[in-house]
A and B are shown apart, each in its own frame.
Chain A
């Protein structure tokens, strides 16, 4: 098992390398540069600033330097937020995004899983239809509609929650963003859970367990759930990577100082290092969570072996 994890982490390095290389050259091909937008910057001054950041070097040298820095864990300075290095920006923003994402993911797995199980047990009854309706609505309504509606209903009409802001992580400020992040995920998890649970309940070993007189609870939780949870596990990996690295929509609407908004801003401002940093962080999260999914698979399903 340890060997497997190590081998997987080693094979992740070429993937990461390809992603970094692609992103590096793609953003460089884009017209404009990080210091082009600033008004009133004379060409000499701009040349000086670019020289200071090494932007006047040939592209291949910049690429080698970047890789070298990256290998030493140095993401470089941010061009558009000159007081910060990219590492510092992540150090302050990432914990916030990860916290919100983790809460949303937990909520989605618990609530979505529960709804899915209920729907599967009450198949074709009103409980089932209610869950399907909720799931359809939840996975269709985009977050940029859900978020302002939550603000409107809970913040303005009922006055229960603040409309936005982080406020050092006070819990009322987290409710809106977490709900917005969780709702679409709840819908998807509920759908997956319903489908796989229905399938699992039809299996022979479940019939046997029932015939042996095991309680409903024991049949569902101990035997059916184990098989039914596999699709959720493989869905939750990429979903976790996406949730934990922040959502630009949620962070913009609720004014949350996470890392999700950096990506769009940085790409538009040609803040090369910040874009690259975000790409690397997202790629690492994706790789790690895919690995966790594979390990969990082996834990849940003993037929899966890695050796």
Chain B
């Protein structure tokens, strides 16, 4: 058949068949759980990337007046907290409170002392996390009593604060950034190594394949956690390096999957047909092998990311992962687990963020598997 003949056949049938990916996408769109999870993940990613800039507190700011404050939708300070904070600030001035009153969003406090009261003392009110814009209203003639005023700073801690008084919302979002970034980073590392290794073994085959897979078997037989701890020991606390290393451990499954896939694809008839038609080796690889390998790789990757996030959390839980003041969901959950008696929101909110992300990733992975599985089409 000449090329011209092929062209006329093509022109007679302008209708385009759906490709594997169009088909998979259509099937994925029909899967409500997977689509909802996809949107949820997108929202979570946006929240974690943009969130830390939008929340009025940074994840490292320590509010001494708000240690372990319960979550609340209304602004702090609450009515009874003003007096405590005021007493705390005035105590630092080494003077006594004679009387105080609240007028709107300003407090007026009369202080007295045995000696003359220094006007610079007013800065102690400014230093407090509760008050701002403090000034001296009036001063008695002998200087021993003084009326100070300050405005009350309204602060929102939607998820409460932690043990040292840091806003949990900004910390949780920051932690999400780290956890998601680590999940992707290690996931991609594992996939790249696994695909290259597995595809090489599967394509070369024979003795090379035998040796390469025996190496994988031996690595499998060592306890996984031993490996990870060894890597932590080697790479220290540098988390980028460490998670490249963790990714380098997780490639074993990927390598096996890709090898099996490569072996079976190599024997498919369409590969033989392509070879018979004289398609070059690289042409076969790019046009036929890679697209067919991609399905399982994509599925495995979506299931790998939650695994990595769990692993990172696990390491952080043991104190081997991300170090303070940087944080991750595992670090927060670990801190929360130590304070369940006194401040259970420290456990609950990070746990909700982590678990919902993991669930969504799993739903997307399952959805992709169903969408890309050619058997039940």
* Segment at the interface with B among A14-22, A58-66, A101-109, A292-300: A14-22
A residues near B230, Cβ cutoff 8 Å: 26-27, 30, 267
Query: Would you call A248 and B337 a contact (CB within 8 A)?
Result: no
* In the complex, A152 has a CB within 8 A of chain B: yes
Bound together, the chains give a CA A151 to CA B230 distance in angstroms of 31
Query: Would you call B351 and A149 a contact (CB within 8 A)?
Result: yes
Chain B window 304-344, contacts with chain A (Cβ cutoff 8 Å), 1 for yes, 0 for no: 00100010011001101000000000100110110011001
* In the complex, B234 has a CB within 8 A of chain A: yes
Determine the main DSSP class of A at the interface with B.
helix
B residues near A283, Cβ cutoff 8 Å: 221, 223
Query: Would you call A152 and B344 a contact (CB within 8 A)?
Result: yes
Total residue contacts A-B, CB cutoff 8 A: 93
* Segment at the interface with B among A137-145, A165-173, A202-210: A137-145
Bound together, the chains give a CA A276 to CA B362 distance in angstroms of 36
* In the complex, A67 has a CB within 8 A of chain B: no
Query: Would you call B218 and A18 a contact (CB within 8 A)?
Result: yes
**Set B222, B226, B313, B317: member contacting A267, Cβ < 8 A:** B226
Query: Would you call A267 and B340 a contact (CB within 8 A)?
Result: no
Query: Would you call B223 and A264 a contact (CB within 8 A)?
Result: no
Chain B window 332-369, contacts with chain A (Cβ cutoff 8 Å), 1 for yes, 0 for no: 01101100110010010001001100110010000000
Least Cβ–Cβ distance between A269 and chain B, in angstroms: 10
Give chain B interface residues in 203-247, CB to chain A under 8 Å: 218, 221-223, 225-226, 229-230, 233-234
* In the complex, A198 has a CB within 8 A of chain B: no
Nearest A residue to B360 by beta-carbon distance? Answer: A140
Query: Would you call B310 and A142 a contact (CB within 8 A)?
Result: yes
* In the complex, A230 has a CB within 8 A of chain B: no
B residues near A151, Cβ cutoff 8 Å: 337, 340
Q: A152-B347, A264-B229 are in contact. Are A140 and B337 (CB under 8 A)?
A: no
Query: Would you call A249 and B317 a contact (CB within 8 A)?
Result: yes
Query: Would you call A19 and B333 a contact (CB within 8 A)?
Result: no
* In the complex, A147 has a CB within 8 A of chain B: yes
B residues near A149, Cβ cutoff 8 Å: 347, 351
**Set A22, A141, A263, A275: member contacting B355, Cβ < 8 A:** A141
Q: A22-B222, A279-B222, A283-B221 are in contact. Are A267 and B229 (CB under 8 A)?
A: yes
**Set A23, A148, A248: member contacting B225, Cβ < 8 A:** A248
* In the complex, A41 has a CB within 8 A of chain B: no
**Set B229, B233, B337: member contacting A148, Cβ < 8 A:** B337
Query: Would you call B233 and A30 a contact (CB within 8 A)?
Result: yes
A residues near B358, Cβ cutoff 8 Å: 140-142
* In the complex, A31 has a CB within 8 A of chain B: yes
Query: Would you call A267 and B223 a contact (CB within 8 A)?
Result: no
22 contacts between A and B (CB under 8 A): A15-B221, A19-B218, A22-B222, A27-B230, A136-B362, A141-B355, A142-B354, A144-B313, A144-B317, A145-B351, A145-B354, A147-B337, A148-B340, A149-B347, A156-B341, A249-B317, A267-B226, A267-B229, A268-B229, A278-B223, A279-B222, A283-B223
- 5 more contacts with CB within 8 A, not counting A30-B234, A140-B358, A263-B226, are A137-B359, A148-B336, A156-B340, A267-B226, A267-B229
Q: Residues of A with Cβ closer than 8 Å to B? A: 15, 18-19, 22-23, 26-27, 30-32, 136-137, 140-142, 144-145, 147-149, 151-152, 156, 248-249, 252-253, 263-264, 267-268, 275, 278-279, 282-283, 286
